[in-house]
Chain A
Amino acid sequence: MIGLAQVYLLAGLAFAAFALLSARDDTNPRRWINTAFWGLLALSMLAGDRLGDLGNGVLVLALVGLAARGLERGAQGSDAEARRAEAARHGNRLFLLALVIPLVALGGTLGFKHWPGLVDPKQVTLVSLSLGVVLALAIGMAWLRPRPTEPLEEGRRLMDAVGWAAILPQMLASLGAVFALAGVGEVVGQLASAFIPEGSRFGAVLAYGLGMALFTMVMGNAFAAFPVMAAAIGLPLLIHQYHGDPAVVAAIGMLAGFCGTLMTPMAANFNVVPAALLDLADRNAVVKAQVPTALPLLAVNIALIWFLAFP
């Protein structure tokens, strides 16, 4: 059955190629740091399951050490004149190529359901995304006829632009696991419920909504905040004591958490990675662009819980 193993193999090969091309790039003064960083990530993808927990821990420490030394951007890109000529030559058909990955991801997600046993049903989206990448590359190679190494060379260029931020989302997810082991959630929940004035329904709604947003900002993830805040305030106070509608309390509480996601660099894949991908000097530029939407929307969510959960 096709599942994560094949997806990780593909990702491992891609990172290995980025490592090799970094090693070859002598315009980059720190090319060996880049090579080691992408190489270790390739090792993690290809052989992570055989390294053992401690081995993986050491691998993470090495990645962190390399990031602290500082990665450097390697050789950057083609000249604008050539790209404009290419754009004029290929025209709007370029957009069709851009649609291959999303269309295959969509078609696979829906279609593989009808082929039970072919693709692991839990990983169908990742498998379809990978398939889309392979297909788009095949079509692109046949149509645009680039040098064989060109896609990987361009991929290495974009990867360098992202830099160490590439693994920040995975690091934060792992930190969440350690926090869970240490019981951070329970402590935060107890603290939050201690702040609510006795008998105040509005106080409880406010603490629940703000708590969801704030704890999401700290953890970078509303999924981590929801069980904590729901167990500390949502369930005992809003649902049991004040008889709020559980569906409203849960659903809109989660969305209050999403407002927190918009306001924190800890949600690295949404907020920091795009800033790196777009070459923004300020790593927090995307967060800053989102705060003026997130704050009024948080107020709306708190009001919605207040009005809809207690009819």
Chain B
Amino acid sequence: MTLSTKSFEIFCGTGGVGKTTLATARALNLSQNGKRVLLITIDPARRLKDLLGLQGDAVGEVTEVELLGSKLHALLMSPEKTIQRMAKKYNTPDLANNRIVQILSKPYGGMNEILSMVEVQMQFDSGSYDVVVLDTPPGAHFLDFLESLGKIRSFFDQNFIEIFSYLGQKTAKAGKKVFGMGIINRFISTGVRKLLGYLQNVTGAEFIDDFIQAIQIIYQSRDAFLKGLSLQDRLKSRSECNWFLVTSVEQGKAQEAVELRSHASHFIHEDHYLVLNKCLEQELKSWNPDESHLIQVKASLEGKEQLLKKKLNEVFPVVLEFPEVISLSPTDHIQHLTERWKSYAPQG
């Protein structure tokens, strides 16, 4: 089994399985093969953050990292920084200054997934990288990440344009600055007007004004958001993207991995791999306890792992196994896992 290299590699899976460490090891493996690699990560554990040098000023900025003698680039997502880059690139400075946009783009404001899509697109467009390795947010929220593409579309949906025209008129009356909404002013639906009336009943008037402004500003930057959409086709394409679904023996949850895949079925093509981390099989093989309680422990550990592998092999075309690295040093982990990736990847 060898893995071919694509422009995008997506790591997803339930958290706490060593997903970020595996993704980092993969990025390092690609870089050792001479690729220009950018690793984008969302929420790494602190030790890994330290190892990658992604603290302080480096948060949200592409940083060159030297790991085990190889260089790669890494970026720790900061929604705020992404918004600033968008504002600069698309010349929409208001985007970075709007109060509501600022609150929502706080680190846990909830815009991480959607902005990570925009970030991947902007970074790849820069032409500086052969491969972008993306470590997605953990758990079922990987699904949010996938859906974010659809959300961008629905946010800028044609139906939705109606609201801008209505809002444009309203702010004009209120004597506020009006953005270029003229061409769509004809399509005012009474539905939108009614909805805003109700909204105002519960939210108060100040919110409506701020909100209108936020929506208009986001709308001005729609090109940046919509560009994220073109990524959708590339991630779907077998020639451009490898998908890695990560789980671990410790978790013992085949079901979650299967569910992840079925939720993501419109995205995932044949080139997807189940990565099973922290396997104890080799370790347990050499153990022959003779006391009954230890036999029970061995059977429990071995039985759970075998059952998991059996279930996974039934549903995934390829299962890549990685042994549990028993070491306290994250560098050791990355080194062992990079070696393991080497055995799966073509040498260059």
* Bound together: no
